[in-house]
Amino acid sequence: MQFLKDSFDRLMAAYQQQPYPDLQQRKMQLQALRGQLLQQKPALLAALNADFGQRSASESQMLELLPSVGSIDYSLKRLKKWLKPEKRHVSWLFLPAKNYVVHQPLGVVGIIVPWNYPVFLSLGPLVAAISAGNKVMLKLSEFTPQTNQVLKNIIETALPDTALVIEGDAGVAAAFSQLPFAHLLYTGSTAVGYQVMRAASANLTPVTLELGGKSPLIIAPDANINQMAERIVFGKTANAGQTCVAPDYLLVPKDNIEQCVSVLQQQFLQFYPKAQFEQSYPAIINERHYQRLQNYLTEAKAAGARVISCLDVTPKQQQQRLMPLTLVLNAPLDSALWREEIFGPVLPVYGYQSIEEALHFVQQKPKPLALYLFSDNSALQQQVLQQTHAGGVCINETLIHAGQEDLPFGGIGPSGIGAYHGKEGFLTFSHAKAVHQKGRLNTGQMAYPQHRAKLFDKLLNYLLRP
């Protein structure tokens, strides 16, 4: 697509004119982005509500704007330190000299943004990329057209000649991923992640893939479910479960299943009584995804599963794509609920006899983006950390690790490649250039052919003696 190539070429020309923005320029860009984001906050919140069909201003501010501003502020405070050359050790064999590493911008980088958090998952990677001194092209999701317009205005007003926003369908996204970026970051499904990586490989473009998968939540035998219910329900119903790190299934001691179900039901109703549910609970993004979730439940019911909706939904609410927390017991392990990432407020429950059985259950599945453990037993906490793999872990909490700027965020294996946030984001979008520097004195000349026999061969024999 010619317009994509033209956009890329325009940014590449701008990068070549200024391949290393200084600290002050980068800080000015971050400050301009922050100012535009807050100035256009009302329009952004209205657009998010419209694109989702229903999403409260409180939810959008908490899950999208607050972490975006936090990311900018974190980088502003630490960017000077990140830009300083890092001193490295020099072996005595090469003295006098000095070694250091400088972090250089990569060039023009691409960011492919999903629909579920269109603001934070645009601005988070963007902040990392411009902190590292790059030019940026962002491909936004076609499912959030009104939000895209506000974001485009924010980004291109704050960052002229630095960032460009691209819109379009899957065909545009495919062509976007084929551009010769210096780095490409994609957030979305694992299935599309394969396609993005395949397209990027034609240009040897390195990729960061933030995917997802089925993130387990383990309730240990010692956990107090009454105390932890708020955290579990929040983690599963924030953005109506349309979160890549939302708990995807629940592992509970068999004897505690009924108590757990009852407590989670009650907690959901405390969060969202009928009036609150209708007015502020987030809707499923579109009819296709709503029907996908309903099909999962229909299949599970037909196979004998027990489906428990935490709230009776009216026909009008169904038309609005409002879907309460729905717990599913005894769904066959070969059903879609156990095979596919759910990405909605449906939570399958599996009862285990021993913690070893629970860990084995997790170990047999592809490595997830997140893992959640509820337990106060420090030995068990260490056991789970050591015997399972996940992109990130929360102990006695859900979701919140993804909002920690000083922790890397990323998956492992099928749940992703690479990481960003905070310093890791700066490093992802930088090249660590190794520099070895000498002055006039050159002790290395003893290694040159004409001098070797005099001293260097004797030194080699000494250093490499048995």
* Cα–Cα distance list, 181 to 7, 14, 155, 177, 457 (Å): 12, 14, 19, 8, 47
* Cα–Cα distance list, 166 to 5, 34, 176 (Å): 12, 21, 9
pLDDT of residue 152: 96
pLDDT of residue 464: 86
Answer yes or no: 244 catalytic: yes
Q: Look at the block and give the residue holding tokens 């109703």.
A: 269
Catalytic residue chosen out of the listed positions 64, 244, 260, 394: 244
Coil, helix or strand at residue 139: strand
pTM over 0.85: yes
Distance CA 347, CA 300 (A): 12
Extract the tokens encoding 445. 């000349």
Coil, helix or strand at residue 375: coil
Distance CA 417, CA 201 (A): 14
CB 164 within 8 A of CB 154: no
Extract the tokens encoding 312. 């009776």
Distance CA 141, CA 199 (A): 18
pLDDT of residue 459: 80
H-helix or E-strand spanning residue 451: helix 449-451
- In degrees, rounded to 5, the angle at the alpha carbon of residue 318 between the alpha carbons of residues 317 and 324 is 80
* Cα–Cα distance list, 162 to 134, 232, 351, 460 (Å): 8, 40, 52, 52
Domains and CATH numbers, the chain: 2-211+417-432 (3.40.605.10), 216-405 (3.40.309.10)
Distance CA 32, CA 27 (A): 8
CB 190 within 8 A of CB 347: no
Pairing state of beta strands 216-219 and 306-309?
Answer: unpaired
H-helix or E-strand spanning residue 69: helix 66-83
Extract the tokens encoding 323. 């879907």
pLDDT of residue 288: 94
Distance CA 395, CA 397 (A): 5
Provide DSSP, 116-137.
SSTTHHHHHHHHHHHHTT-EEE
Residue 441's CB is within 10 A of a number of other CB atoms, namely 10
H runs (alpha helix) in 168-286:
170-176, 190-201, 225-237, 257-271, 274-280
Q: Which residues of the chain have pLDDT under 70?
A: 453
Pairing state of beta strands 430-437 and 98-105?
Answer: antiparallel
H runs (alpha helix) in 223-364:
225-237, 257-271, 274-280, 287-302, 315-319, 336-339, 355-363
pLDDT of residue 9: 95
β-sheet bridge partners, residue 218: 251, 373
Query: Per-residue pLDDT tens for 213-247?
Result: 899 999 999 999 999 999 999 999 999 999 999 99
pLDDT of residue 276: 85
Select from 432, 435, 433, 430 the least CA-distant residue to 105.
430
Coil, helix or strand at residue 351: strand
Distance CA 454, CA 91 (A): 22
H-helix or E-strand spanning residue 386: helix 378-387
Catalytic residue chosen out of the listed positions 86, 156, 167, 210: 210
Q: Look at the block and give the residue holding tokens 């009216």.
A: 314
